[in-house]
Amino acid sequence: MASTANPFSISLSSKPTATSSLRKINHSSDSFLRVQNPPNSVSLRSSFISPSSIELNLNRVGNSISSASRVKSRICASSAQVMDQSVTKSDPTAPTIVDVNLGNRSYPIYIGPGLLDQPHLLQKHVHGKRVLVVTNDKVGPLYLDKVVEALTKGNPNVSVESVILPDGEKYKDMDTLMKVFDKAIESRLDRRCTFVALGGGVIGDMCGYAAASYLRGINFIQIPTTVMAQVDSSVGGKTGINHHLGKNLIGAFYQPQCVLIDTDTLNTLPDRELASGLAEVIKYGLIRDAEFFEWQEKNIQALMARDPNALAYAIKRSCENKAEVVSLDEKESGLRATLNLGHTFGHAIETGFGYGQWLHGEAVAVGMVMAVDMSYRLGWIDDSIVKRVHNILQQAKLPTFPPEIMTVEMFKSVMAVDKKVADGLLRLILLKGPLGNCVFTGDYDRKALDETLRAFVKP
Residue type (1 letter), 148: V
**Could you tell me where the beta strands, DSSP code E, fall in 319-427?**
421-422, 425-426
Active-site position among 336, 377, 420, 427: 336
343 part of the active site:
yes
How far is 439 from 189, CA to CA, in rounded Å? 45
- State the Cα–Cα distance between residues 212 and 234, nearest whole angstrom: 14
Name the active-site residue from 316, 360, 377, 420: 360
Which member of 340, 377, 427, 437 is catalytic?
340
User: Looking at 60, 322, 377, 420, which residue is catalytic?
Assistant: 322
Burial state string for 122-158 with b = 16 or more CB within 10 A and e = fewer than 16: bbebbeeebbbbbbbebbbeebbebbbebbbeeeeeb
Q: Please pick, among 157, 188, 216, 244, the residue that the annotation labels catalytic.
A: 216
From 294, 320, 324, 332, active-site residue? 332
Choosing from 130, 172, 343, 377, which is the catalytic residue?
343
Active site residue 322: yes
**Cβ atoms of residues 236 and 100 within 8 Å:** yes
CA atoms within 13 A on the CB side of 137: 5
Exactly one of 169, 280, 291, 320 is catalytic; name it. 280
Question: Rg (Cα) of the chain, in Å, rounded?
Answer: 21
Q: Can 244 be counted among the known catalytic residues?
A: no
Helix locations, 2-139, DSSP H: 119-123
Q: Which residues contact 289 (CB under 8 A, 6 or more apart)?
A: 14, 60, 77, 317, 321, 436
Alpha helices (runs of H) in 396-445, residue ranges in sequence order: 408-415
Catalytic residue check, 238: yes
Cα 119 to Cα 116, 122, 160, 234, 422: the distances in Å are: 7, 6, 14, 20, 45
Taking the C-alpha atoms of residue 123 and residue 72, their distance in angstroms, rounded to an integer, is: 19
Clarify whether 419 is annotated catalytic: no
Phi/psi at 53 (5° precision)? -120, 130
| DSSP β-ladder status, 259-262 and 421-422 | unpaired
Q: Is 347 a catalytic residue?
A: yes
Question: Are the CB atoms for 155 and 124 separated by under 8 Å?
Answer: no
Q: Is 336 a catalytic residue?
A: yes
- Given the residues 316, 347, 377, 427, the one annotated as active site: 347
Q: Is 340 a catalytic residue?
A: yes
- Which residues in 403-427 are b (16+ Cβ under 10 Å) and which e? beebeeebbeebbebbbbeeeeebb
324 in catalytic set: no
Helix, strand, coil share of the chain (percent; to 5): 40, 20, 35
| Active-site choice (238, 247, 288, 317) | 238
- 57 tagged catalytic: no
Catalytic positions are 216, 238, 280, 322, 332, 336, 340, 343, 347, 360
